[in-house]
Structure 1
Amino acid sequence: MDPNHYRFRGVWRLAAPAPAVYAALEDVRSYPLWWPEVREARETGVGSGSGEVVVRGLLPYRLVIGLETRRHDPAAGVLEAAMRGDLVGWSRFTVTADGPGGTRCRVLFEEDTRAAKALLRRLALPLHPLFRANHAVMMHRGGRGLAAYLAGLAGGGGGGRRTANR
């Protein structure tokens, strides 16, 4: 087993229509407004499709992750990005309607990644379970934050807490 290799899978069930959730997820620059662990998000190339996020969870380290769109398919509800920088691999959101009426959706998150940051690689063996727990907390808070953000948008409140580039 490679202690630097991680596979994550999780589900968010949200009281929001799938198209609204997809739109929020494709706007990576807005992630700092609703996802507490995403501290910064910015485009790095000309036009959309490439960017960078700075992430800091409960543990005292930050990750700088470059993102490059690999699949952008609104009809299928799929957003997939290649990751580079402190983490190398890919992540994918798949958004589908969940239940009658189109007012709820299910978001499947999948990620296959390897730590590239030297500190994480050195600590991978003893702290692997802690890194996984840190990721689980981040994903839980992301789902909660997105739900609140979308509820604020639907209610006309704007939803956000902070600017996208702090």
Structure 2
Amino acid sequence: MARRLRPVGLDFLISAPLRLVHTSELAATPAAVYRALADDVPGTPSWWPAVTAARPTAGGAGREVRLRGGLVFQERILVSDAGERYAYRVEEANAPGLRALMEEWLLTPAPAGPGTRVRWTMAVDAAAPLRTLLRAARPGVVRSVRDALRELDRRLAASPAP
């Protein structure tokens, strides 16, 4: 059963009791990566296997994301800076013990040439058992993000730029 989570502000990305962070470099441009993240929400499952469905809600101000295992998140977009930053918090979730969750995608030009440096941050507040589980699952979660970004980069390289 879904329940309302604590509404947190962007400062939660720094102050959260648990933070998972991953950085990848992609060949695709920041604009192309941003479009895949923010504009093509329904396309997310095509490059991120952990996501079974995703759709915009609230006229584009939110998203509904369904994950393998039956987790469902109702998200509110907090920052949508084209080609630079995309951040959202989970407003409702069916994950027991979850109190607050926010994700941020920072996109910057890759320092070693064309492409994008992507820094993903997940900030979480949860009951102690869930926090412990997430800490133990950190390598798998980070691997999932890394692999999803690699697949996204492959897909973007194979599709013509708009």
* TM-score, normalised relative to structure 2: 0.74
Cα distance change of structure 1 residues 12 and 125 upon mapping to structure 2, 3 Å threshold = closer
Alpha-carbon separation, structure 1, partners of 2:128 and 2:21? 24
Large movers: runs of 4+ above 6 Å: none
Any idea what the Cα deviations from partners look like across 1:145-165, whole Å, max 9, x if unmatched? 11111112139xxxxxxxxxx
What residue is the counterpart of 1:35 in the other structure?
A: 48
Give the drift of 1:43: 2.2
SS of 1:124 mapped into structure 2:
helix
Give the drift of 1:139: 0.9
Cα distance change of structure 1 residues 100 and 124 upon mapping to structure 2, 3 Å threshold = closer
Does 2:149 align with 1:137?
Answer: no
Q: Is the contact made by 1:36 and 1:141 (CA closer than 8 Å) also made in structure 2?
A: no
Does 2:58 align with 1:25?
Answer: no
What residue is the counterpart of 1:93 in the other structure?
A: 105
Find the partner of 1:83 among 78, 82, 90.
90
Alpha-carbon separation, structure 1, partners of 2:37 and 2:147? 15
What residue is the counterpart of 2:123 in the other structure?
A: 112
Q: Is the contact made by 2:63 and 2:76 (CA closer than 8 Å) also made in structure 1?
A: yes
Alpha-carbon separation, structure 2, partners of 1:124 and 1:42? 26
What residue is the counterpart of 2:57 in the other structure?
A: 44
RMSD of Structure 2 on Structure 1 (CA) = 2.5
What residue is the counterpart of 1:164 in the other structure?
A: none
Cα distance change of structure 1 residues 89 and 129 upon mapping to structure 2, 3 Å threshold = closer
**What residue ranges of structure 2 are gaps of 5+ in the alignment?**
1-16
What one-letter code is carried by the residue in structure 2 that aligns with 1:95? L
SS of 2:28 mapped into structure 1:
coil
Alpha-carbon separation, structure 2, partners of 1:125 and 1:28? 28
What one-letter code is carried by the residue in structure 2 that aligns with 1:73? D
What residue is the counterpart of 1:64 in the other structure?
A: 72
Cα distance change of structure 1 residues 104 and 141 upon mapping to structure 2, 3 Å threshold = same
Alpha-carbon separation, structure 2, partners of 1:16 and 1:82? 26
Q: How does 1:141-160 map to 2 (within 5 A)?
A: 141-154=147-160
Q: Is the contact made by 1:11 and 1:107 (CA closer than 8 Å) also made in structure 2?
A: yes
Cα distance change of structure 1 residues 125 and 51 upon mapping to structure 2, 3 Å threshold = closer
| Number of aligned residue pairs | 140
Range 126-135 or range 106-115, more displaced = 126-135
Q: Is the contact made by 1:36 and 1:145 (CA closer than 8 Å) also made in structure 2?
A: no
